[in-house]
Chain A
Amino acid sequence: DAEITQSPRHKITETGRQVTLACHQTWNHNNMFWYRQDLGHGLRLIHYSYGVHDTNKGEVSDGYSVSRSNTEDLPLTLESAASSQTSVYFCASSESTTGGYEQYFGPGTRLTVT
């Protein structure tokens, strides 16, 4: 069965360190997204990609970067982790952005920055 996985599931890091969160999907979807979820807020879009070598900034992209070298993976990098980046991070993918195609979500990564 196709799936979308994230690793690690939990991560504790120190302020100022670089951190990379992995996302891998076997749906063969062109569209991939990174969100963060914080109490009291809806899911907020960090970065997204519509295909290999395509990346775009979302609503809360400052301090984050992504790269898309193949269809399956969209790693998210925190260049210099800050306490404000403590959050739960979800990766998602979809077949299309039109026509009501749903986004499929990974299980999430809980990141704590101390």
Chain B
Amino acid sequence: GQNIDQPTEMTATEGAIVQINCTYQTSGFNGLFWYQQHAGEAPTFLSYNVLDGLEEKGRFSSFLSRSKGYSYLLLKELQMKDSASYLCAVMDSNYQLIWGAGTKLIIKP
């Protein structure tokens, strides 16, 4: 079966750095997406990785290792507004997105 695993909840301090991990087992791979979802709102796109390595976009970076079936989202200089759920999704061989259950990130002052 297809499976995306990510931690259910993480806590971090304002101004710090946090890494949210995602491991996957899917039938085929056509890229990995990270989305942010604030409580009661729609998911919004953060990043896309299809090749191994690190993609940096401002305070957010995303890393991919296809051989290990592993990705992480790195958030730097955490702000209170970063409190949200972070969703990992893999596009499989049929170009369908398989979603993880999300990681709820709690930022403390």
Contact = CB atoms under 8 A, between A and B. Distances in A.
Interface in B19-53: 30-31, 33, 41-45, 48, 50
A75 interface: no
Interface residues of A, number: 19
Given A90-B42, A102-B45, A105-B42, A43 B96 contact: no
B78 interface: no
Contacts of B42: 90, 105-108
Q: Is chain A's binding surface mostly helix, strand, loop or mixed? A: loop
Given A40-B101, A41-B101, A100 B41 contact: no
Nearest to B45: A102
Most A Cβ at <10 Å: residue of B42, B89, B100, B101: B42
Contacts of B97: 43, 45, 103
A111 B44 CA distance: 21
Given A43-B87, A105-B44, A100 B101 contact: no
Interface of A: 40-45, 48, 58, 90, 97-98, 100, 102-108
